[in-house]
Chains A and B, each alone.
Chain A
Amino acid sequence: QQQVKQSPQSLIVQKGGISIINCAYENTAFDYFPWYQQFPGKGPALLIAIRPDVSEKKEGRFTISFNKSAKQFSLHIMDSQPGDSATYFCAATWESYKLSFGAGTTVTVRA
């Protein structure tokens, strides 16, 4: 049973476009929400993370939007580049330090 639901499963975007990935959770104990980027054959790399007392966090072209009341959060990739083509996982954790991962979204950026 997945505690974090992620959509879409895959998306294709043109170079320069915006990629949007959505996640939802049920467990209100979660207090830390990281996003990971994974390239084929590699381990996940921490991309950006947010805590529930913040509604938005931006790092370069990557922005997390967080809606605590709706228990939803999303990743926006602005000005998408071919090098952004990867699988993105949202995750959530709390004091147990275990990560609950979403199912992943494969992003393909077309040149």
Chain B
Amino acid sequence: GAVVSQHPSRVICKSGTSVKIECRSLDFQATTMFWYRQFPKKSLMLMATSNEGSKATYEQGVEKDKFLINHASLTLSTLTVTSAHPEDSSFYICSARPRGVNIQYFGAGTRLSVL
């Protein structure tokens, strides 16, 4: 089956620092990758959609300067949380969609804790 690797699984950082999260599709080419945020006991909230080689499309209310997304290749997308603050603490999950297939495969998620 399609495998999406997300790294790191957990990160703790100080307020004001930046954190980078990587999302890789291991056995397929992902033309589109998605980034979600999930609060405890809540559903997934789509933050942005990224297509390889083009700028990400952010959902309403998501600060693009705060959450930088780069989709440099067909197998790698990164989310950088810039100048992180405690309110950015959350569970971030990426997903990847293979070319021509309307299925999203999810990574294992990254637990970000900002002190």
Q: For B106, give the chain A residue with the smallest CB separation.
A: A43
A45 and B44 within 8 A (CB): no
Q: How large is the interface on A (under 10, 10 to 19, 20 to 34, 35 or more residues)?
A: 20 to 34
A103 to chain B, nearest CB (A): 5
Q: Count residues of chain B with CB under 8 A from any CB of chain A.
A: 23
Residues 75 to 115 of chain B near chain A (Cβ within 8 Å): 91, 93, 95, 97, 102-109, 111
**Cα(A58)–Cα(B95), bound, Å:** 25
B97 and A97 within 8 A (CB): yes
Which residues from chain A sit less than 8 Å from chain B, CB to CB? 2, 32, 34, 36, 41-46, 49, 89, 93, 95, 97-99, 101-104, 106
B93 and A44 within 8 A (CB): yes
| A-B CB contacts (within 8 Å), total count | 53
A89 and B102 within 8 A (CB): no
Other-chain contact of B44, A42, A49, A93, A101 (Cβ < 8 Å): A101
A73 to chain B, nearest CB (A): 16
Query: Which 7 pairs across A and B sit closest by C-beta, in order of nearness?
Result: A43-B106, A43-B109, A43-B108, A101-B43, A44-B106, A43-B93, A103-B43
**Cα(A36)–Cα(B93), bound, Å:** 14
Task: Decide yes or no whether B25 CB sits under 8 A from chain A.
Answer: no
Query: B109 contacts which chain A residues (CB < 8 A)?
Result: 41-43
B49 and A89 within 8 A (CB): no
